[in-house]
Structure 1
Amino acid sequence: MDGLLTPVATLHTNEKVKGTGLQVLQESSSRHQHESETKPKPKSHKHPPNSPEDALETLRNEPDYESLISTLRFLAHGPPQDPALFGIKMPGPLSAQLVQVLVSEIVPNYWTLLQQDFNGSRGSGTELLLACLRSITGINAILVRLRALTQEAKSEVGSKAKRPDLSVNLGILLSLLCHVLQGDNRVREIWQATTSGLDPRARARPLSQELLSIFGGGRIVGLTAEATTFVDTAKVQGSGDDDVWPADAVKYTKWLGQNIVAWQQSGPSQDESKFCSDLFAKALRLGHFVDVLVKYVLSNLLLTKGVNHGRFGLLLADLPQMEQRKVMSSVLKVFSNSYANRLGRCESDNSAAVISAVTGALSSIVAPDSNGRSHLVEWLTSSSGAGLGEGIAIRRAVLAVISQDKDSIVDVLEKSINQFGDQLYIKHSPILQQEAHVQVLLLSAGYVHRKSPIKLAIMVRSGVWLNAISNRLATSHQRARFLGMVVGEAISGLVDKGDKRLDFHVEETGQAEGKWYKELVNISDQIGNMDPLLVTQETSVVPKKSIQKKPTTKTTTTATPRAAAKPPQQGFIIEELGDEEMDEDVVAYAKPDSDAEDSDDDATLVRRDKPKAPVYIRNLISYFRDTESYDHQKLALMTAPTLIRRKANFGTEVAEHAEELASLLVGLQDKFEIDNFDGLRVQGMMALVVARPELMGQWFSKTFFDGDYSISQRASILAVLGLGARELAGFEASEYTAAVSFPSKTLPERVERLFISGGPSNSYTSPSSSSTLKPLPANAVEKVAKSLISQFLAPMAATAADAATGPDVLKLSTFTSQLENSSDKNPKIKIKSRTRPRVRAIPNTTAQLISTSFFSPLAARFQAALHAPSSRTRGIVFHPYLLALYLKTLALLLHAAGPSTLALPQMTAELWRLLLSTSVRAHAVGDLALTHAVLFGLLALLDVNENRMRDVCQELGSEVVETQEWVAGVFTGVRGGDAGDGAGEEEQVKMLAAGVLVRLRGGLTGTSCS
């Protein structure tokens, strides 16, 4: 061994080195460089090492490339005599030293060279290095080194002297980590290399737990995401898609799902299956991407042809109870969104086949574990369960699975009846939630009747059932009474015969909806084949496209070679003649007018391929999908509001493509900085709402809570719901409404103006005429809210301004001046009289539509989000800006429905309790914007219910008293602005609080509310 090494130089120093550390480093470097030039270089060790110690010594002494490759090959494949003697992937002191040298010394110096020589073969230097580092020791070493360099980079932020090598080394480590982890079988490979040959109960279990902590604890995502802030990720070699994918939580979660799927499909052993389930459970706790992970694993383990369909159930069976419940909820949501919700009320011919297929899939999931059925029972009967807002198809599928066990289906029916008659449940639960539970009750009653008619008869004769029907009939909510009557007649029809059947003799139960509810007891779904749900397993690679920049006024696309080629000459040939060749009787044509397109001096810049505006909805969708074309995106945005409104009542184009078009509009990004992009996008979505209000109102309400969108996109959804409902109610008319009206049905603008005004000299405008909704700004809801506030408070301000000794708490002189200033700034706000404006009459059909398709879904899903297991959902709901905008949107919907709404008592109760809920008021503490939203909601409630305050006091007496106390506390607690500062935020909140107090106390005069 000693004979193989040749000394480079020997230094003997007797004097102490003086100077700073930097001087010592410079002197040492210069001496080393001088000696390197004068002394002969050592011979390269091209033969492989004989032992791990020899390999460690070689790596420490700056080996050349050939020696490095031979050493890496020795470490990757082990000693040729006995591979069991040593393995660099096995945890140990020697392997830790080797890995540390590889990560800290070899990788920074040789990574670029290894990448240049990488050819994809297993014998290449890059693959040999990665094979040595694909272990628990290697990944830990990379993460530790990454943390150290990141801390160094953070400490140098703001300092003048910076190390330029930090960014380079961080980029190399990130690239190395991407290569080490890349692959669908990487987790399995690392686990097997770490635990092979060990007693599972002695040493393998701690190592497995450490692997779970590394992969499922979020450590990789956190460190890489922090390191990318100091690195240009576009220059990181081999990271894939020009970014460091482990830093993206969604991509990392999907990578974990790919490894879990590949491991499960390979037929793992019992220990491997247990580790795989534990890794799945850890991945579920990573963050906000449970649905992404569950959908991927479910699709590849259960809903793919050619796979073992029982693997997903086995994976789920080894999970803890809490994770099982979370996975089952996510699975049901996937089935709902992908298959069940498309069926609507399941009135089509293929509904039964799809429901049977979903039933078969659910049955295969819960079959390996006895706890699966209990989770389904809990999902159906919990106070916030049964798929709020989802179609009935998913409930039919779940009940078909549960009906296979008699005790389980009876348990569902008993719990449903107890919940159905609970007075607190009837009073406080959203009506959308009650409708879902009524469907469960009727379906389960039908299954119990077919399995055990005596059991159902006994339950119907019990006091619990009689009290449930009595409580339903005694409630003041019209919809709750309707559900009680429908359930009573349906179940009585199963048990009683002849004249004994219950019949309330009301019109509602005999209409289409009542008949549909009563038919649910006769539905019986069977477990079917999953073939309609299965897809062929394939890997789709989406190429990354370059972004086309917005062209300037003179920048155009170049012509294609086909366009540049001269067409063959056909027909007549036009030949230019000179003046001397022209006959005297030939009259020359006049010079044409100038064309804007031909104004460029350079003829190659003239565009002849401008796309035309789409005339069909499918063309509009294709334009929106072409995200790389500026012209298509701009044309689609400008055409969508008019085209959708024009096609709404002609054909079925809008009805068939409404959801797809809405999804494109909500997720559209402004890549080209198009003028008025947000306004045009919102107008397109509003056109969909106006065209299909029953469908799109519920769709947008669902998307606001469930979709993966940004804060601004969710805010636009709320704006669309609020402003769309006001347009349906007739408060505003979009500028695009007149554009789509048929020409034969409209007068010329000048004649129409004279006809409406009654003559040229009459400038009076009817107060009931609708205002025009101009292009929407970003704060369109705020503008409408301010307009309504002025309308609510203007009569009080005008009346109190006359009384010199009016209430001091209102600061009425300042209050009136603020309203007048607001009227000057906003022409829509005019204080012309001191009497309350006439309440506009709204048709009951429109009011009912706003209640059922806009208000109820939006309010009910908020209650469901409060009980959601995902912290991401609660984070979205309680975002300060979104929560304030959400409350104002509900208030706008209530005001748009108006006082003639049949469901006004129910809407009033839901919104009032929501505004006074502990969660909302807790977030409003210290947040003036949210406090302003709560007060605006209360003011809208009092305005709409002005003529029925006695009923409000009887139904919501405690809420009314609590509101007085809370608003009084807000009024005294807010400091308020100076009298001359105009529209200060604190002054506005104080003004609103005063208005609520005056309205509330004035409305309670003469009522029985204490």
Structure 2
Amino acid sequence: MDDFLTPVSTIRITGKKEADVSRSLVNSQPNSSTTTQTKTSPTSTEDALQVLKQQPSYDELIATLRFLSRHHPDNDIPTIRLPSPTSAQVVQVLVSEIVTNHWIILKEDAGDSKNSGYKLLLYCLSSITGINAILVRLRALIQEYKSDTEGSGKVKRPDIHLNLETLLDLLATLLKGDGWILEAWQTARTSTGGDAATSAVRMRPRVQEILALFGGGRIVSLAAEAEAIVKANKTAKDDNYDIWVADAQQYTTWLGRNIVTWQLSDVSPRHPKFGSELFSKGLKLGHGDALTKHVLGELVLKKMSEPSRFGLLLSNLPPTEQRKVLFSILKLLSSKYLDRLGHCESEESKPLVAAVAGALGSIVAENSSLKNYLVEWLTGSSGAGLGEGVGIRRAVLAVVSRHRHDIVTVLEKSLGQFGDQLYIKHSPMLQQEAHVEVLLLSAGYVHRVSPIKLTLMMRTGVWLNAISNRLAAPHQKARLLGMVVGEALSNLVDKGDKRLNFDTEKEFEDMAIWSKGLTQVSDEVGSIEPLFESPPTTLPKKKAASLKATHAAARPPAQPPQTGFIIEELSDEEGPGDDGLVPYAKPESDAEDSDDDPTLIRRDKPKAPVYVRDLIRYLRDTDNYDLQKLALTSAPTLIRRKAEYGTEVKEHADELAGLLIGLSDKFDMEDFDDLRLQGMIALVVAQPKIMGPWFAKTFFDGDFSISQRASVLIVLGLSSRELAGFEASTYSAAAAFPSKTLPERVEKLYLPQNTSFYQPKSSSSLKALPPNALDGIAHSIADNFLAPMAAEAADSATGPNALKLSTFTFRLNNPEKVRHITKTKPRIRSIPNTTASLLSSSFFTPLISRFQAALHSSSSRIRGILFNPYLLSLYIKTLALIIHASGPSTLSLPQMTVELWRLLLNTSVRTQAVGDLQLTQAILLGFMALLDVNEDRMRDLCQEMGRELIEAKDWVAGVFGNLRGGDEGGEEEQVKMLAAGVLVRLGEGIEKWQLVLVGDLIGF
């Protein structure tokens, strides 16, 4: 730009003359009604337009801008903002000519004075007309750039990207401020004039123009397109060029600030629909949750706030938008304040639950439609806060219980849904548990308000059918929920021997006791002041103790120590005085001390973090290479070491996980991805019951990229296998305290060779994780699944040709392995039920339940995440690895099998797999894992899921028939081999138990 602008002359004003000029500028401020006229000052808008068209000098430009900034004597509006054809032409000339030629000079003149040329120009363009003119100019330049590049491949005008950069800078500068939209609305209203009826007619199209301009995506889309062109023509040193207007999330935040300013103004109660319409349009920009969070935080969750203003904003939205925003508010309140409460119903949680209930009560007030949406959220088939803690359900019920009719409605609908056979069979278990909590809590409220009403409900056929259907359910968890609800409600109504008692198993006794205690929980709608404080950072003691017990039970049991005397011949290599202690080596000279230049010696090297808070501080400092490197290399060992000692990891687990997921490789470190994954795996292994659901929730709800979401799935898959004992991380031994280990010479006396307490014989060691870590494990499992069938098919005349050909080559190259495979069939290692139960409840159930809930979601963002081909295939592989790691001894295996099988047969999933070999392979791996762990349950599968088995066989047969194969070792050949193996296993099971299938398949 310096080459195009050559100064002709420069005039410096100093001393008294400068003071005189400053005094004249002060007397001619835009807000002043009297303006000092110079010789070159125009006298009308037409004169100003002629001056601007004739390439004015700098002094003439300042004088013209000062004239245009004057306020009109009648309506106190700047002349340039009065709607007229001449004003529109003036704005167009300012944007297309003046800004292009004078912007850099005017920015250099940007001072504190209101009469500087820079601020006068911004003042003249701060209107709807000015913003529209900028957008029109941006679109014209973008079209010109595209037409040039598409035709000849080169841009005819090399200054296009410079003009785009100038206009983007102007647009971003103009839109700064939180009261922009309020000022635009007031200007549009004041400039209408006339009587009330005429003013209203003229006002309506101008208001619609404001809504369309700022509520639509026109500004963001054009700015983003222009920014991409500017970046494409930038040099490498200017890669950090960013304009906030081109970022949809930053623009949404700006829009939220302007909506808050509007709602807090005096005109909002008189014109409530404008703010609601603007808020409704802002929700469609792609960051509706962020917009809701900002407006909610400013109008409700802030000191000296006015929650009634937010209720006014919400009540004027369309019904569908009201429901969407209210449900988003419930999710935000739960994640920010109540998720930490977990399953705690103690007195310590009541103030916070009452505060959240108070915030909801102030928003809902007496709005009947909003109260109906709360009832729908509690009783809907996909509602009640899937995956959220019980705290948000307590808060909502506290608001609903203020009206007797509403709480009775909740109980009746919950009871009818609880006993529905289709609901019991098809709903995710996580969803059923949430609805059971609502049922028990609402029963307690109804019993306190009207005991006779609850008694009459338990004498109806709805109650009897509900308990009967639950006890007849094929899945253990569904039956258990029926027993818990039956005992809890019977204890409220019946007395003495009439109370139901199912003698719940000891394994579920704690859960049953806690669930039955929900009927005694009573929350109130309190003050929202506790929400102004920082959210709680620690779990209640009762919950923490239960998590510790669960984690301790999840670890593989230690082998019993050997008894008796041990006689072992010692090696002669060790002298009689060798006690196994290694002496310290002589200190070597520091390499830095030998440096010739003493200024290059670093004495401020950071030390490795010792505490978790230091690790968090290191991870937050993203501009320091040394701290980032130390944090990543120390995180896996430090987290594992602190897992069993103190509460540091437990209290900061979610914060650590958030930092690790969002960390970017800013310094191009070696093994960055591996170290980051190992840190997250260490977190999950240290606190599986907390971090398993947290990572599952983050995958669906977090604002992360595809690669970051993929890392979440990899972490869940690998950590589940480590917890199950199939893998052993190299960081486990490094994390052990020295006081817990023996010297190597002494350890030989107590531990047999090649054994370890935490590494089973069949396990492998996790070292550096390749990008396809889950794929490698999945392929190894698939090989073990196919090996016995391949060996048998090679010796038989029957069997798939693909298997025979591949197996024949395998037998020629590996005769010993084939002989071993033929003799002994690999078996799934039986693991303790505690670990299998943990994998089911904390890994598998949150992942698959949230997926099923997201399938019914109307959010395009969620569905876009779900049906990304890479993420969907990785998601299915993760579920397959988790169910395979759980093994055949899992008590909840029937329920897990049903849920995963139906997900694999989902119409949307199978449609997405058409033509996608990667996703097809993932689905086949899912079937393979299910058949592997259910090898001894084929009769039960044929009896309970006959239709699903036949449907799966038909689909796999279609896949096998549509694949050509033939490319030895190719991807299509591998998928065809896997389809053949699954087809053979399904055929064997169906043929063996075909008589069981007859009754279920009549009419199929």
Residues 1:628 and 2:623 are matched in the alignment: yes
In structure 2, C-alpha distance between the alignment counterparts of 1:509 and 1:489, rounded to whole Å = 17
Which of 599, 616, 623 is the matching residue for 2:611? Answer: 616
**Please, what is the CA RMSD of the aligned residues?**
2.8
Cα separation, partners in 2 of 1:393 and 1:818, compared to 1, 3 Å? farther
Residues 1:603 and 2:598 are matched in the alignment: yes
Residues 1:55 and 2:42 are matched in the alignment: no
1:277-316, aligned counterparts within 5 Å? 277-287=276-286, 289-316=287-314
Q: Secondary structure at the match of 2:81?
A: coil
Residues 1:254 and 2:253 are matched in the alignment: yes
Residues 1:996 and 2:982 are matched in the alignment: yes
In structure 2, C-alpha distance between the alignment counterparts of 1:800 and 1:235, rounded to whole Å = 63
Kept in 2: contact 1:90–1:193 (CA 8 A) = no
State the one-letter code of the partner of 1:987.
Answer: E
Residues 1:451 and 2:449 are matched in the alignment: yes
Alignment-derived partner of residue 909 in structure 1: 898
In structure 2, C-alpha distance between the alignment counterparts of 1:819 and 1:328, rounded to whole Å = 64
State the one-letter code of the partner of 1:873.
Answer: I
Which of 939, 962, 986 is the matching residue for 1:950? Answer: 939
After the TM superposition, which of the residue ranges 434-443 and 111-120 deviates more from structure 2?
111-120
In structure 2, C-alpha distance between the alignment counterparts of 1:534 and 1:607, rounded to whole Å = 45
Residues 1:146 and 2:135 are matched in the alignment: no
Which of 687, 694, 699 is the matching residue for 2:689? Answer: 694
Residue ranges of structure 1 left out of the alignment (5+ in a row): 1-28, 34-43, 537-590
State the one-letter code of the partner of 2:989.
Answer: G
Kept in 1: contact 2:262–2:268 (CA 8 A) = no
Residues 1:530 and 2:528 are matched in the alignment: yes
Q: CA deviation at 1:482?
A: 0.5
Q: CA deviation at 1:497?
A: 2.1
Alignment-derived partner of residue 639 in structure 2: 644
Kept in 1: contact 2:828–2:933 (CA 8 A) = no
- The C-alpha deviation readout for 1:247-277, integer Å capped at 9, x for no partner, is 0001000000011111212232445432111
1:211-230, aligned counterparts within 5 Å? 211-230=210-229
In structure 1, C-alpha distance between the alignment counterparts of 2:932 and 2:63, rounded to whole Å = 85
In structure 2, C-alpha distance between the alignment counterparts of 1:403 and 1:787, rounded to whole Å = 55
Cα separation, partners in 2 of 1:85 and 1:917, compared to 1, 3 Å? closer
- The C-alpha deviation readout for 1:717-736, integer Å capped at 9, x for no partner, is 11111111111111111111
- The C-alpha deviation readout for 1:100-143, integer Å capped at 9, x for no partner, is 11111121122222111111433222222222222222111110
Give the paired residue count: 899
Alignment-derived partner of residue 231 in structure 1: 230
State the one-letter code of the partner of 2:91.
Answer: V
Which of 365, 368, 385 is the matching residue for 2:363? Answer: 365
After the TM superposition, which of the residue ranges 322-331 and 65-74 deviates more from structure 2?
65-74
Residues 1:971 and 2:960 are matched in the alignment: yes
Kept in 2: contact 1:975–1:986 (CA 8 A) = yes
In structure 1, C-alpha distance between the alignment counterparts of 2:745 and 2:808, rounded to whole Å = 37
State the one-letter code of the partner of 2:140.
Answer: A
Alignment-derived partner of residue 512 in structure 1: 510
In structure 2, C-alpha distance between the alignment counterparts of 1:246 and 1:880, rounded to whole Å = 31
Alignment-derived partner of residue 275 in structure 1: 274
Which of 153, 162, 165 is the matching residue for 2:156? Answer: 162
Kept in 1: contact 2:70–2:78 (CA 8 A) = no
In structure 2, C-alpha distance between the alignment counterparts of 1:701 and 1:86, rounded to whole Å = 56
Q: CA deviation at 1:749?
A: 6.6
1:801-840, aligned counterparts within 5 Å? 801-803=794-796, 805-815=797-807, 817=809, 832-840=821-829
In structure 1, C-alpha distance between the alignment counterparts of 2:817 and 2:346, rounded to whole Å = 48
Q: Secondary structure at the match of 2:852?
A: helix
Alignment-derived partner of residue 670 in structure 1: 665
Q: CA deviation at 1:807?
A: 2.0
Which of 58, 76, 97 is the matching residue for 2:69? Answer: 76
Alignment-derived partner of residue 934 in structure 1: 923
Identity %: 61
Q: CA deviation at 1:233?
A: 10
1:673-752, aligned counterparts within 5 Å? 673-743=668-738
Q: Secondary structure at the match of 1:859?
A: helix
In structure 1, C-alpha distance between the alignment counterparts of 2:792 and 2:973, rounded to whole Å = 20
Alignment-derived partner of residue 107 in structure 1: 99
Kept in 1: contact 2:467–2:486 (CA 8 A) = yes
Q: Secondary structure at the match of 1:688?
A: helix
Alignment-derived partner of residue 1005 in structure 1: 991
Residue ranges of structure 2 left out of the alignment (5+ in a row): 9-36, 193-197, 535-585, 999-1004
Kept in 2: contact 1:815–1:991 (CA 8 A) = no
In structure 2, C-alpha distance between the alignment counterparts of 1:496 and 1:879, rounded to whole Å = 53
Q: CA deviation at 1:953?
A: 1.0
Cα separation, partners in 2 of 1:345 and 1:234, compared to 1, 3 Å? farther
Kept in 2: contact 1:820–1:831 (CA 8 A) = no
Kept in 2: contact 1:715–1:882 (CA 8 A) = yes
- The C-alpha deviation readout for 1:352-387, integer Å capped at 9, x for no partner, is 000000000000000153211111111111111110
Q: CA deviation at 1:476?
A: 1.0
Cα separation, partners in 2 of 1:179 and 1:595, compared to 1, 3 Å? closer
Cα separation, partners in 2 of 1:819 and 1:712, compared to 1, 3 Å? farther
In structure 2, C-alpha distance between the alignment counterparts of 1:99 and 1:281, rounded to whole Å = 30
- The C-alpha deviation readout for 1:569-610, integer Å capped at 9, x for no partner, is xxxxxxxxxxxxxxxxxxxxxx98554334544332222222
Q: CA deviation at 1:509?
A: 9.5
Kept in 1: contact 2:791–2:818 (CA 8 A) = no
Cα separation, partners in 2 of 1:619 and 1:817, compared to 1, 3 Å? farther
Q: CA deviation at 1:48?
A: 2.7
After the TM superposition, which of the residue ranges 114-123 and 777-786 deviates more from structure 2?
114-123
In structure 1, C-alpha distance between the alignment counterparts of 2:385 and 2:653, rounded to whole Å = 23
Q: Secondary structure at the match of 1:159?
A: coil
Q: CA deviation at 1:443?
A: 0.7
Q: Secondary structure at the match of 1:799?
A: helix
Residues 1:886 and 2:875 are matched in the alignment: yes
Alignment-derived partner of residue 409 in structure 2: 411
Alignment-derived partner of residue 355 in structure 1: 353
Which of 965, 971, 985 is the matching residue for 2:971? Answer: 985
Alignment-derived partner of residue 201 in structure 1: 200
Cα separation, partners in 2 of 1:836 and 1:174, compared to 1, 3 Å? same
In structure 2, C-alpha distance between the alignment counterparts of 1:875 and 1:530, rounded to whole Å = 36
Cα separation, partners in 2 of 1:830 and 1:704, compared to 1, 3 Å? farther
State the one-letter code of the partner of 1:643.
Answer: L
Cα separation, partners in 2 of 1:90 and 1:954, compared to 1, 3 Å? farther
Alignment-derived partner of residue 855 in structure 1: 844
Alignment-derived partner of residue 887 in structure 2: 898
- The C-alpha deviation readout for 1:48-106, integer Å capped at 9, x for no partner, is 322222222222122222222222222222455x4579843243322211111111112
Kept in 2: contact 1:304–1:535 (CA 8 A) = no
State the one-letter code of the partner of 2:773.
Answer: A
Alignment-derived partner of residue 26 in structure 1: none
Q: Secondary structure at the match of 1:164?
A: coil
Kept in 2: contact 1:303–1:535 (CA 8 A) = no
State the one-letter code of the partner of 1:503.
Answer: N
Q: CA deviation at 1:754?
A: 11
State the one-letter code of the partner of 2:774.
Answer: V
Q: Secondary structure at the match of 2:80?
A: coil
Cα separation, partners in 2 of 1:219 and 1:908, compared to 1, 3 Å? same
Cα separation, partners in 2 of 1:938 and 1:808, compared to 1, 3 Å? closer
In structure 1, C-alpha distance between the alignment counterparts of 2:179 and 2:707, rounded to whole Å = 39
Cα separation, partners in 2 of 1:232 and 1:45, compared to 1, 3 Å? farther
In structure 2, C-alpha distance between the alignment counterparts of 1:376 and 1:753, rounded to whole Å = 65
In structure 1, C-alpha distance between the alignment counterparts of 2:243 and 2:336, rounded to whole Å = 31
In structure 2, C-alpha distance between the alignment counterparts of 1:673 and 1:900, rounded to whole Å = 44
Cα separation, partners in 2 of 1:444 and 1:774, compared to 1, 3 Å? same
State the one-letter code of the partner of 1:490.
Answer: A
Cα separation, partners in 2 of 1:331 and 1:806, compared to 1, 3 Å? same
Alignment-derived partner of residue 265 in structure 1: 264
Which of 388, 393, 396 is the matching residue for 1:395? Answer: 393
What is the TM-score normalised by the length of structure 1?
0.85
Cα separation, partners in 2 of 1:200 and 1:781, compared to 1, 3 Å? farther
Q: Secondary structure at the match of 1:1005?
A: helix
